């Protein structure tokens, strides 16, 4: 069953499951998926700076009505980042106003009625640091958050004594952003994020586990923005389907969704595939070709397996992420596209950057927001519903599982994630002739793993899960349950840590500080 929308594919085998592909790169390394937010929230006054946790900040304009929603000024030259913060804060009942430069931000501040400013640091013209200094001259108690992806700037911000509230390290973590804004504006924290209007998942998507519900909660918060999004996770977890849902829930749903598998297309042809070429541009170019970015205009383009892109092509992609402009091969004419860019990978891009295989500037341009998809083995509540969905699809609802098959499917670790599960259910459906599915209808590796599990109890997978759980809980305790610092020490993203904690809670473990 395919999701209904305009879709143009390049190098993909389409499968309508929560994961439609498998890759050959192996397990997703447990490294950092993105920068974290370090919350050291401060509000400056003329006399002193106090931690927000200790005081309720006073409004900086006389006559301000505290009953109104706090008004947040968002300053960023990147339209995607601006759109993400704007749409998210509006969904949380904040009033927002945006500015694309430091100069414009100062004009907005002079007009008054701003309760807090969130500003990027590196901008053309007036930088975020300079904007902060000038804003301080007229608004000495205005809370300010600076957003940066660069370590040298973060150190400079940390050493400042003129009242920077905090810095947010890109990619922005929406949960900590919300906590920071609520503290700075004196709003009592709520138990949970306020979600936008309820959105219905397509029938082909199964999300029974709390982990996947959290994933689609994040998707619902960012889909309506114009921001670039990086989708991460192991091979086969469902990154392409998450991209489908982002597009379906966005304002671009009526436009095309173009998918390009960067690993499936030879490097020599990928540039032409993305940007197109003119007739006679190279040997074999017998006709003009329109590239995928042109096809995706007014829609969305998914760059799957983005880590496989060569450094030279990464430089050309960087230009597109900046202003939407590119040239076909063999032409000097610039073409403009407003396609929204989604990127997906099963690699750790930050590690690729550190090893010189991926451009740092492109990484930060693509990674405005990260959506991490947990592996299937960590979301047990999804396994049987997914298996039943696939079997119903292949047998038109006629087949059913025996009790032993249900147990075997639940116990297997599914290293290939949802795609492996789908393939196994397709085989079982064929072998059972659409009737009762028995253990002998399952692939041999699943039967063997089930037998070994029965002999070796508890099995190695259970022991590994227990070791992981104990290591995470110990790290949380050592860092006073600060998830940002815990994630940094464990070498994973804060988003990945959050999903793991949610899974532990789902299994009945206590992982909170209380």
What value does the mean pLDDT take over residues 122-136? 89
> Residue 159 is encoded by which pair of tokens?
């050493």
**Other residues' Cβ atoms within 10 Å of the Cβ of residue 230:** 24
What value does the mean pLDDT take over residues 425-447? 91
- Contact indicator for 40, 34 with CB cutoff of 8 Å: no
The pLDDT confidence band at residue 328, using thresholds 50, 70 and 90, is: very high
The pLDDT confidence band at residue 453, using thresholds 50, 70 and 90, is: low
What Å distances lie between residue 504 and 171, 233, 455, 467, CA to CA?
Answer: 25, 19, 26, 13
Give the residue, 483 or 290, on which the prediction is more confident: 290
In the three-class reduction of DSSP (H, G, I as helix; E, B as strand; rest coil), residue 57 is classed as coil
| 42-170 fold | Rossmann fold (3.40.50)
**Other residues' Cβ atoms within 10 Å of the Cβ of residue 402:** 14
> Residue 286 is encoded by which pair of tokens?
């017998």
Q: CB neighbours of 455 closer than 8 A, spacing ≥ 6?
A: none
> Residue 205 is encoded by which pair of tokens?
């998507």
Which range, of 159-173, 291-305, 390-404, 421-435, averages the lowest pLDDT?
A: 159-173
> Per-residue pLDDT tens for 376-398?
998 889 999 999 999 999 998 88
Does residue 195 have a pLDDT over 90?
Answer: no
Strands 71-75 and 95-99: parallel
The distance of Cα 50 from the centroid of its chain, to the nearest Å, equals 33
Q: Give percent of the chain with pLDDT exceeding 90.
A: 45
Which range, of 177-181, 308-312, 473-477, 490-494, averages the lowest pLDDT?
A: 490-494
Look at the block and give the residue holding tokens 């501040």.
Answer: 109
- Contact indicator for 144, 116 with CB cutoff of 8 Å: yes
What value does the mean pLDDT take over residues 214-224? 89
The phi, psi pair for 336, rounded to 5°, reads: -105, 135
Predicted confidence at residue 493, as pLDDT, reads 72
What value does the mean pLDDT take over residues 344-369? 91
CATH-assigned architecture of domain 377-455: Orthogonal Bundle (1.10)
DSSP one-letter code for 38 = B
Cis ω on the peptide bond leading into residue 478 (within 30° of 0)? no
> Residue 320 is encoded by which pair of tokens?
């597109």
Strands 7-10 and 257-261: parallel
Does residue 160 have a pLDDT over 70?
Answer: no
Which range, of 43-57, 206-220, 293-307, 431-445, averages the lowest pLDDT?
A: 43-57
Give the residue, 474 or 30, on which the prediction is more confident: 474
Packed helices 128-138 and 151-159: angle between N→C axes, nearest 10 degrees:
20
The CATH superfamily label for domain 460-506 reads Homeodomain-like (1.10.10.60)
Cis ω on the peptide bond leading into residue 211 (within 30° of 0)? no
What value does the mean pLDDT take over residues 32-36? 36
What value does the mean pLDDT take over residues 407-424? 94
Does residue 165 have a pLDDT over 80?
Answer: no
Task: Name the CATH code of domain 7-30+204-374 (choices 3.40.50.300, 3.40.50.2020, 3.20.20.120, 3.30.1330.60).
Answer: 3.40.50.300
> Per-residue pLDDT tens for 462-514?
677 788 888 888 888 888 887 777 877 887 777 778 778 877 876 777 776 65
Which range, of 274-283, 311-320, 462-471, averages the lowest pLDDT?
A: 462-471
Region of 114 (left: φ > 0; alpha: ψ -120 to 50; beta: rest) is: beta
Mean of all residue pLDDT scores within the chain: 80
Expressed in percent and rounded to 5, the helix, strand and coil fractions of the chain are: 45, 15, 45
What value does the mean pLDDT take over residues 269-290? 92
- Contact indicator for 475, 179 with CB cutoff of 8 Å: no
Which range, of 11-25, 163-177, 410-424, averages the lowest pLDDT?
A: 11-25
Q: Give percent of the chain with pLDDT exceeding 70.
A: 79
What Å distances lie between residue 377 and 347, 349, 503, CA to CA?
Answer: 19, 23, 11
Does residue 162 have a pLDDT over 80?
Answer: no
| Helix intervals (H) in 367-493 | 380-395, 403-411, 417-431, 444-455, 460-478, 483-490
Predicted confidence at residue 460, as pLDDT, reads 58
- With 0-12 / 13-18 / 19 or more C-beta atoms within 10 angstroms meaning exposed / middle / buried, residue 462 is middle
Residue of 477, 397, 401, 398 whose CA lies nearest to 439: 401
- Structural domain boundaries in the chain: 7-30+204-374, 42-170, 377-455, 460-506
Domain 42-170 in the same topology as domain 7-30+204-374: yes
Look at the block and give the residue holding tokens 């940002």.
Answer: 484
Host H or E run for residue 97? strand 95-99
In the three-class reduction of DSSP (H, G, I as helix; E, B as strand; rest coil), residue 436 is classed as strand
Highest mean pLDDT among 13-27, 130-144, 406-420, 453-467: 406-420
- Contact indicator for 315, 359 with CB cutoff of 8 Å: yes
Residue of 314, 233, 192, 172 whose CA lies nearest to 21: 233
Which range, of 50-59, 232-241, 270-279, averages the lowest pLDDT?
A: 50-59
DSSP one-letter code for 54 = G
In the three-class reduction of DSSP (H, G, I as helix; E, B as strand; rest coil), residue 282 is classed as coil
- Contact indicator for 236, 377 with CB cutoff of 8 Å: no
> Residue 188 is encoded by which pair of tokens?
């009592």
Q: How many CA atoms lie within 13 A of 377 on its CB side?
A: 15
Q: What is the rounded CA–CA span in Å between residue 230 and residue 75?
A: 22
What value does the mean pLDDT take over residues 92-117? 93
DSSP string, 306-346: GGGS-HHHHHHHHHHHHHSEEE-BT---EEE--PEEEEEES
Four-residue CA torsion sign, 35, 38, 39, 44: negative
The phi, psi pair for 144, rounded to 5°, reads: -135, 135
The pLDDT confidence band at residue 22, using thresholds 50, 70 and 90, is: very low
């Amino acid at each position: 069953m395919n999701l209904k929308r305009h879709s143009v594919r390049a190098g993909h085998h389409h499968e309508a499951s929560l994961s439609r592909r498998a890759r050959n790169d192996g397990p997703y390394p447990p490294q950092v998926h993105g920068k974290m937010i370090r919350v050291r929230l401060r509000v400056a006054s003329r006399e002193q700076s106090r931690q927000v946790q200790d005081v309720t900040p006073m409004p900086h304009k006389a006559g301000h009505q505290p009953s109104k929603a706090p008004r947040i000024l968002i300053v960023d030259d990147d339209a995607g980042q601006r759109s993400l913060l704007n749409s998210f804060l509006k969904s949380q009942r904040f009033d927002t106003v945006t500015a694309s430069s430091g100069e414009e931000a100062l004009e907005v501040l002079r007009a008054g009625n701003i309760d807090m400013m969130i500003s990027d640091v590196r901008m053309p013209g007036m930088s975020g640091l300079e904007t902060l200094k000038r804003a301080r001259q007229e608004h000495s108690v205005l809370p300010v958050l600076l957003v940066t992806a660069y370590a040298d700037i973060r150190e400079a911000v940390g050493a400042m004594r003129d009242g920077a509230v905090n810095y947010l390290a890109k990619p922005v973590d929406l949960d900590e952003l919300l906590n920071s804004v609520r503290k700075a504006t004196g709003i009592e924290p709520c138990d949970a994020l306020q979600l936008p209007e309820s959105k219905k998942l397509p029938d082909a998507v199964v999300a029974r586990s709390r982990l996947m519900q959290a994933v689609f909660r994040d998707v619902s918060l960012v889909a309506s923005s114009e921001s670039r999004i990086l989708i991460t996770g192991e091979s086969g977890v469902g990154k392409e389907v998450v991209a489908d849902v982002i597009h379906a829930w966005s304002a671009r749903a009526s436009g095309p969704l173009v998918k390009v598998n960067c690993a499936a297309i030879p490097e020599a042809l990928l540039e032409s595939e993305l940007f197109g070429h003119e007739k006679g541009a190279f040997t074999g170019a017998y006709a003009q070709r329109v590239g995928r970015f042109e096809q995706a205009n007014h829609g969305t383009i998914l760059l799957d397996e983005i880590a496989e892109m060569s450094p030279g092509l990464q430089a050309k992609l960087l230009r597109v992420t900046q202003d939407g402009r590119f040239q076909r091969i063999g032409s000097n004419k610039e073409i403009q596209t407003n396609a929204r860019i989604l990127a997906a990978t099963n690699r750790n891009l930050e590690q690729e950057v550190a090893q010189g295989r991926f451009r740092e500037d492109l990484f930060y341009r693509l990674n405005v927001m990260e959506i991490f998809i947990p592996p299937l083995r960590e979301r047990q509540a999804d396994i049987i519903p997914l298996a039943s969905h696939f079997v119903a699809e292949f047998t038109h609802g006629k087949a059913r599982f025996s009790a032993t098959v249900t147990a075997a499917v639940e116990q297997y670790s599914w290293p290939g994630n949802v795609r492996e599960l789908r393939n196994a259910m397709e085989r079982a459906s064929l072998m059972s002739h659409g009737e009762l599915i028995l253990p002998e209808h399952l692939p041999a590796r699943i039967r063997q793993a089930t037998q070994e599990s029965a002999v070796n109890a508890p099995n190695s997978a259970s022991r590994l899960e227990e070791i992981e759980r104990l290591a995470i809980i110990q790290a949380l305790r050592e860092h006073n349950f600060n998830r940002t610092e815990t994630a940094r020490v464990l070498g994973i993203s804060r988003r990945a840590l959050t999903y793991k904690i949610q899974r532990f809670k789902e299994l009945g473990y206590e992982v909170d500080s209380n």
